[in-house]
Amino acid sequence: IEVTFVDNPDDPESWKKAIRPNTKAFFGETIANPKNDLLDIEAVAKVAHDYGVPLIVDNTVATPYLIRPIEFGADVVIHSATKFLSGHGNAVVGAIVDSGKFDYAKYPDRFKNFNTADPSYHGLVYAQALGVGSPFGANLAYIFKIRLTLLRDIGAAVAPFNAWLLAQGLETLSLRIERHVENALAVATWLEKHPQVEKVNYASLASSPWNGLAKKYAPQGSGSVLSFEIKGGIEAGKKFIEALDIFSHVANIGDVRSLAIHPASTTHSQLTPAEQLTAGVTPGLIRLSLGLENINDIKADIERGFAAAK
């Protein structure tokens, strides 16, 4: 698999410039981590479809409760269901949702694996037998190929107990996300006014460059994963994290418990300073995944971190 990175994901023209002769799909995050920037789904989907490739989006941070990407033109939606969908950090699960809207039969040279016989499955031609106009009344070419070949060959099947945990989590998804977002917005608004904070990255704030997209795609809130830059750089960031009590210091997101991490000294520590900046990681960046605790307890714990970082 070859990957071409888009220089400016906010600019549809930048997506056009990244297209290569062998481009097979566009991929992006509806809400990106850790800067909470939003993808202009409709604009990027148009560029993808004009060229003749599907748009695949990762909707992990938003969940379907906040953003429904297929309604804005995305063709395939994926989730790390380990995060908000299951919600409790206790199951390793992934999900693929196919809209059935992309017609692979229209581009036989580009998608040969959909338009030629599969000898491992009785000569089935997915785009013909299962695609647009198939006897099933739906375009199942993509999702059936995933199930009939990749699932079979790679074995990416969810464990039964993990499936049960996911099913349990989904029953409270709406309630949890409402509380997640409520806490996140309260913390983001509070952090903007804090004297030890240089910048807050949260799209639902009016100060965010992605606030317009947040109002369009995620009017109920831009999730509960946000980041901020603490004054004092990398050392202040380390001290802040070490002083937290309620927040768990882990690399995960999307838990009922509040989670925090200092990327420059952990997840991105093997990158050079220049590479960290390219990834959106500044020396003092702190990422928070706000949980369901009482907002006063959350703020008190963050204040504890600030006191240690002075």
Cβ(230)–Cβ(309) under 8 Å? yes
In a shared domain, residues 107 and 211: no
Range of the domain at 133: 12-154
CA distance 230 to 235: 10
Mean pLDDT estimate for the chain = 97
* Cis ω before 34 (30° cut-off from 0): yes
Helix (H, G, I), strand (E, B) or coil at 114: helix
* Cβ atoms < 10 Å from Cβ of 20: 8
Cβ(280)–Cβ(35) under 8 Å? yes
Cβ(187)–Cβ(299) under 8 Å? yes
Please check the confidence at residue 278 and state whether its pLDDT lies above 90. no
Number of domains observed in the structure of the chain: 2
DSSP string, 162-199: HHHHHHHHHTTHHHHHHHHHHHHHHHHHHHHT-TTEEE
Please check the confidence at residue 155 and state whether its pLDDT lies above 90. no
Q: Tens digit of pLDDT for each residue in 74-103?
A: 999 999 999 999 999 999 999 999 999 999
Q: Which of 106, 121, 154 is the last residue of a domain?
A: 154
Cross-strand partners of 287:
227, 261
Q: Tens digit of pLDDT for each residue in 29-88?
A: 999 999 999 999 999 999 999 999 999 999 999 999 999 999 999 999 999 999 999 999
Mean pLDDT value of segment 291-301: 99
Task: State the greatest distance between any 2 C-alpha atoms of the chain, in Å, as a whole number.
Answer: 68
Q: Look at residue 138 and tell me if it is in a domain.
A: yes
In a shared domain, residues 187 and 148: no
Chain centroid, CA 221 distance in Å: 14
Q: Could you list the beta-strand ranges (E) of 195-309.
A: 197-201, 225-230, 248-249, 259-261, 285-289
